[in-house]
Amino acid sequence: MLKHTRGQLIAGMIAAAMLQVAHAAAWTLEEAAKPYSGTTIRMVGEALPPLEALSKLAPQFEQATGIKVEVEMYEHSEAVNKVQLDLNSQRGRYDVIIQPHREMGKFATNGHLLEIAPFMADAALRDPSFKPEEQLYQGAWKEISWYDGKMYGFPFTVLNMFMWYRSDLLADAKEKDGFKAKYGYDLAPAQNWDQYRDIAEWFNRPDQGLYGTALQGKRHEALWYEWLNFLYSFGGDVLDVQSGSQCGPVVVNSPQAIASLDYYKSLLAFSPPDSLNYFWDDVMALMQQAKVAELIMWNDATYAVAVDETASTVVGKVGFDIVPQGEGGKIGQLEGWTYLIPTYSKNPQAAFLFIQWMMGYDRQLEQHLNGGASGRPDVYESADVQKLPYAKASMASNEYGKPKATLPQSAEMTDILVRELSSSLAGEKSSKEALDASAKEISTLLGSCAPMSYPAQ
């Protein structure tokens, strides 16, 4: 009887495996999309090269499926605000929202998002060749597309910030001789913040239309994002936690954090006089126009400087490296925008099919080569991607990425820091005063799970 049972079990396993193989061979996008042909899915995201590349790929999906894709593109803050308004109203204008992962906690805890697991378990929808548990950067996927152990989406972009520098200037023989005579060491891409400041000082020549660096000092999310690179590199953080979804002690006013803000503000001396009105678009334009020697910027904006000859005058003249090191060692900023399906979507199945299709290798490669930032390691391994001048810097920054808060209160935390950092940059508060105020307000916002680790004035 035991042998018979065991034989039946083996036969069943073989039959199941054969059925799975048959299903894998039978599944096609065209067949899966038939029930949804003629529908229109609307999506929204940030107006940058990755979304522009998606928009150019979408007609291929439309031709294969009969599902029309309409893409709305807005500046970062506007893209976030439009989604928040739509979710709060529950109108369901959007079937796919592409949002920064700091919004995940708020969206998930308010019931605004559909979990992806049911779609992945639906044999009619799931492409058997799509295996995110094998094909994605697991740490980045779990940090930017999951919340509280639940899967809500897939990475649209896995982002980081790294250093851009004018390689032509740093290679110039006269510049090298003059720099070494003044500072006592060879001119080369900065490996630490002392070198970064020396290079910024050396090339700061406003009378020639050239600045040493360019800060994103506007009262905008860009200020917070930029300063985080300095905070992490100096050995500081906002909360003392291991993942973005955790609440923990507030450490944003630590000595390391204060030192990072002091240093950051010191760079204003080598930045354009209008820097308090700049955000990422402005400093990117400065580099495109050959008006700055070095800065810290996003990997998904790099294409517009390093590759796009229609927009940039410095193609072939810019180098890239990880953020300079401080007490915190090598760091990267783990950030990302995620494909999400709102609870109120009118076409969730069609939305899932499009997201799944976009996550395929060929589309990910095409998008990455046109300014994207894929979450697939095999895309980075492509010979074509490795030819991109910024590929190695982006990979290295991914390796050292630090998570940031995705708690439901993360937007309020960001607002607090943007306000206080801006006040300090404008000279209204010292670094300690600004960060003490931030620490107290963040601790009050988060409650008992977030006691202050350092005394505040």
DSSP string computed for 138-183? HHHHHHHHEETTEE-EEEEEEE-EEEEEEHHHHH-HHHHHHHHHHH
Beta strands 96-100; 146-147: pairing state: unpaired
CA separation for the pair 288, 425 (Å, rounded): 25
Handedness of CA 307, 313, 318, 322 (dihedral sign): negative
User: Is residue 71 within a helix (H) or strand (E), and if so which, with residue range?
Assistant: strand 68-74
Task: Please list the helix, strand and coil fractions of the chain in percent, rounded to the nearest 5, in that order.
Answer: 50, 15, 35
DSSP 42: E
User: Is residue 15 within a helix (H) or strand (E), and if so which, with residue range?
Assistant: helix 2-26
User: Is residue 286 within a helix (H) or strand (E), and if so which, with residue range?
Assistant: helix 280-288
The confidence score (pLDDT) of residue 334 equals 86
| Token pair of 411 as six digits | 């937007």
Residue type, 44: V
Alpha helices in 307-400 (DSSP H): 348-358, 361-369, 377-380, 383-386, 391-399
The confidence score (pLDDT) of residue 432 equals 98
The confidence score (pLDDT) of residue 399 equals 86
The confidence score (pLDDT) of residue 19 equals 46
The confidence score (pLDDT) of residue 222 equals 95
Handedness of CA 340, 346, 349, 355 (dihedral sign): negative
| Token pair of 328 as six digits | 């915190």
Can you give the C-alpha Rg of the chain in angstroms? 24
Handedness of CA 88, 110, 145, 64 (dihedral sign): negative
Q: Which residues are paired to 332 by β-bridges? A: 401
The confidence score (pLDDT) of residue 21 equals 46
Residue type, 102: R
Contact call for residues 407 and 413 (beta carbons, < 8 A)? yes
Q: Which of 132, 123, 118, 121 is nearest to 32 (CA)?
A: 123
297 sits in the region (left: phi over 0; alpha: psi -120 to 50; else beta) called: beta
CA separation for the pair 308, 284 (Å, rounded): 12
Angle between helices 348-358 and 49-65 (to 10 degrees): 120
What tens-digit pLDDT sequence spans the chain (457 residues)? 444 454 455 445 444 444 444 444 589 999 999 999 999 999 999 998 899 999 999 999 999 999 999 999 999 999 999 999 999 999 999 999 999 998 999 999 999 999 999 999 999 999 999 999 999 999 899 999 999 899 999 999 999 999 999 999 999 999 999 999 999 999 999 999 999 999 999 999 999 999 999 999 999 999 999 999 999 999 999 999 988 889 999 999 999 999 999 999 999 999 999 999 999 999 999 999 999 999 999 998 999 999 999 999 999 999 999 999 999 999 998 889 999 999 999 999 999 999 999 999 999 999 999 988 999 999 999 999 999 999 999 999 988 988 899 999 999 999 999 999 999 999 999 999 999 999 999 999 999 999 999 999 8
The burial of 147, by beta-carbon neighbours within 10 Å (0-12 exposed, 13-18 middle, 19 or more buried), is given as buried
CA separation for the pair 263, 44 (Å, rounded): 37
